[in-house]
Structure 1
Amino acid sequence: MINKKLILGVLIAFLSIPMIMAQSTDIEQQIKELSTQKWQWMAEKNADKLAELFHDKAKFVHMGGTWGKEREVDIIRSGFIHYKKADVHEVMVEVLNENTAILWNRITLIAVVGENEVTNPFMVTEVYTKENGAWKLADLSFVKQLVRE
C-alpha cells in the first residue's frame, strides 16, 4: 500500500525545484550587478555609496594588509587607493542560501596607490550577506595572480 502523504510530499518537493533554482539564479544576477556597481563606485571614489554597501563588520584583505569598513572607506575617500578601473575577465557566483552569496572575479585592476599607478591581475573574492532586505558586502579579498608567459 502506497502512503499518500509520502507521494504528495515527493510531488511537492519535485515541483518546487524549478522555483528554488529560479530564486538562486535571481540572487546570482543581483550579486553580479551589485559587484559591477561596486567597481564603478570605487572608480568614481563614491565613498558614501560604498559605505552603504559595506557591512559594518566587513573585512578587506589587500596586498598591504587587512582592515575594516571604516579604514577602507577612509582610504577610498582620501584617494590613498583609487580603484581606477577593474577589467573583469570572469565572474562566478555561488549562492549558499537566500542570505549569503560568494562572488569570485578574475580582474586586471588599474589602481593609484599613493602617487603610483599600478596594474595587477587579481582573483577577488566578495562575500555578500542579506540583512533587512539589503545585500551587504561582508568580505573583499584580493589575491594577486601569477602572470605566466
Structure 2
Amino acid sequence: MVVHPGGLMSDVEKLLSALEEELWRANRDGDGPAYDRLLRRDALLVSRFGTAGKEQIVPLIEANHNPFVRSELSGQQVRLLSPDSALVTYRVDYTARTDQGDVDHAALATTVYSREDDAWRVVLHQQTPL
C-alpha cells in the first residue's frame, strides 16, 4: 500500500485496497452479484486463461466450479492517476479447488479503477502467473 509521510493512507487508497479484498472474497464465495456491482459494464479481465468481459465473468463466478478456498494479497500499492482513476498492484497467493485436489497459485495482479457517480468500479484486471 502507498504509505505517505506520517504513515497515513488516504481514504481512497483504503477503499480501493478493501475493494480488491472484496473481489477475492466474492471469488471464494461464488458471489456473482458482488462482481456485477463492482465491475464496470465494459470491464475486461486478463489472465492465463485469456480475456473475458463482465458478461462472461459474472456467470463464471456464480457457478463457482473451481472455487478459490484461499487468497492472500501482499505488497499492495495504490496509485491515484487522477481524482477519478486509480491503479492497484499486488501479489496474490491463492488456492483453487479442482477435481484433482487443491492447487496453489501465485500471480502479480493489476486492477484499474474508474470512479463514476461516486462509486469505484473495475475497468481492467490483469494477472501474471508467477
**Pairwise TM-score range, normalised by the shorter structure:** 0.7 to 0.9
On the 8 A contact 1:75/1:81 being kept in 2, the answer is no
Quote the residue 2:47 is aligned against.
62
The residue type equivalent to 2:122 in the other structure is: L
The residue type equivalent to 2:41 in the other structure is: D
Structure 2 CA distance for partners of 1:121 and 1:83, relative to 1, 3 Å: same
Rounded to whole Å, the distance in 2 between the matches of 1:65 and 1:49 is: 22
Q: Higher Cα Rg: structure 1 or 2? A: 1
Out of 104, 111, 128, the residue aligned to residue 119 of structure 1 is 104
Q: Does 1:75 align with 2:56?
A: no
Identity %: 21
Q: Does 1:45 align with 2:14?
A: no
RCO greater where, 1 or 2, for CA within 8 Å and sep 6 or more?
A: 2
Secondary structure of the corresponding residue to residue 67 of structure 2 = strand
Quote the residue 2:128 is aligned against.
143
**How many pairs align?**
122
1:61-80 superposed Cα distances (whole Å, 9 cap, x missing partner): 11111010011111111123
The residue type equivalent to 1:123 in the other structure is: L
Cα offset, 1:108, TM superposition? 0.6
4+ residue runs over 4 A deviation: none
Secondary structure of the corresponding residue to residue 59 of structure 2 = helix
**Structure 2 residue ranges without an equivalent (≥5):** 1-7
Cα offset, 1:84, TM superposition? 2.6
Rounded to whole Å, the distance in 2 between the matches of 1:31 and 1:51 is: 17
Out of 77, 81, 86, the residue aligned to residue 71 of structure 2 is 86
Q: Which has the higher strand share?
A: 2
Q: Does 1:33 align with 2:18?
A: yes
What RMSD over aligned residues (CA atoms) do the two structures have, in Å? 1.7
**Structure 1 residue ranges without an equivalent (≥5):** 1-21
TM-score by length of 1: 0.75
1:43-92 superposed Cα distances (whole Å, 9 cap, x missing partner): 11111111110110000111111010011111111123423321112211
Cα offset, 1:130, TM superposition? 0.5
The residue type equivalent to 1:34 in the other structure is: L
Rounded to whole Å, the distance in 1 between the matches of 2:52 and 2:113 is: 17
Out of 75, 95, 98, the residue aligned to residue 80 of structure 2 is 95
